[in-house]
Homo-oligomer: A and B are copies of this chain.
Amino acid sequence: MGEFELIRHYFAAAACAQAADGVVLGIGDDCALLQVPAGEQLAVSTDTLVAGVHFPAGAPGELLGQRALAVAVSDLAAMGATPLAFTLALTLPEVCSAWLADFTAGLERMARQCGVRLVGGDTTRGPLSLTLTVFGRVPAGQALTRAGARPGDLLCVGGALGNAAGALSFVLGERAEQPGSAELLAHYWSPAPQLQLGQALRGLATAALDVSDGLLADCGHIARASGVALLVEQQRLPLSAALLACMGEQSARQLALGGGDDYVLAFTLPAEKLDALRAMGQPVQVIGRVEAGQGVHLLDAEGRAIEPRHSGYQHFGTHRD
């Protein structure tokens, strides 16, 4: 079996994992063809993961496959979109069939979980990296952008923060396993895109994104795009028992504010919509509010401004649109 055939063989599973209605033509031609239903728009997002920057160079293929797709699909969740398909550009230093089998098994599992089908890609030789472009559909005019937050809205998140950042020292093997570390590692390697929450937020939330750069940095994106100030109440940050057990309260809070890779949704919500969202069974944690002004402000238990230790996760490695 030639290298072409080998790669095709392994990706065939992910290509067939979902018989997505909107995929007219999948892998194997110059382009894939997607059908977007009348009255809907196509949501598109691209993410690159580079070995040694976004994941450890020796990461197990299966974990890498599922994480890479989950991270990309999370951007669809943040727009309130329904996943449809994805393309994968994979750059590999060498063709290793055992690694490819593991990688595509992880990719296929997450593809099934998210209801998304591999429709094309490119495999090239070079230092290990992956670029995924994901496609979803969303009713015209109902996509959740970052630009609609209004003074008076609540600031909410869809789950606990800081778990993936708390996992990093375990991912890198810098710390030995301990009670809670397995749960943190699961958050890192297999984040669950909040697709149901995102779709439920259509028509309710005024702005939304997924927390990838760190809560404060991502709140800054909403504040800038919406022209408002966001107030984060530090004592309301949802912290998992696993994170608290592994890191202690103070470090856990810093990780929740500044650590990246959580992939829970952060959103602003008119207060009168809160009950409707909870009645739908969606996870909602109120962590602050929107005011007139600009920037992100951290408040202590008495409502006084705190200077955050980290203003968020901003280095050259992660510029996301």
Residues of A within 8 A of B (CB): 2-4, 7-8, 24-25, 27-36, 38, 41-54, 75-76, 78-79, 81, 85, 87-89, 91, 95, 119-127, 129, 131, 133, 135-136, 138, 140, 143, 145-147, 208-210, 225, 314-321
Report whether B131 and A31 are in contact in the complex, using a CB–CB cutoff of 8 Å: no
Report whether A29 and B79 are in contact in the complex, using a CB–CB cutoff of 8 Å: yes
Q: Closest CB-CB distance, A194 to chain B, in whole Å?
A: 12
Sample of 15 further A-B pairs with CB below 8 A, known A4-B314, A24-B41, A46-B122: A29-B209, A30-B45, A30-B209, A31-B78, A33-B44, A36-B41, A44-B85, A44-B87, A44-B119, A46-B133, A50-B91, A51-B126, A87-B133, A89-B131, A122-B320
Contact of A124 among B35, B53, B210 (CB under 8 A): B53
CA distance A268 to B260 in the complex (A): 51
Give the residues in chain B near A28, CB-CB below 8 Å: 146, 225, 321
Which B residue sits closest to A8, measured CB to CB?
B319
Q: Closest CB-CB distance, A273 to chain B, in whole Å?
A: 20
17 A–B contacts from the bound complex (CB under 8 Å): A2-B314, A7-B319, A29-B146, A30-B75, A30-B79, A32-B43, A32-B44, A32-B45, A36-B42, A45-B87, A45-B120, A46-B133, A48-B122, A122-B321, A125-B317, A131-B131, A133-B133
Which B residue sits closest to A38, measured CB to CB?
B38
Report whether B44 and A34 are in contact in the complex, using a CB–CB cutoff of 8 Å: yes
Which B residue sits closest to A87, measured CB to CB?
B46
CA distance A164 to B256 in the complex (A): 52
Give the residues in chain B near A146, CB-CB below 8 Å: 28-30
Report whether B42 and A33 are in contact in the complex, using a CB–CB cutoff of 8 Å: yes
Give the residues in chain B near A315, CB-CB below 8 Å: 3
Give the residues in chain B near A4, CB-CB below 8 Å: 314, 316, 319
A41-B34 contact, Cβ under 8 Å, with A95-B316, A316-B3, A321-B120: yes
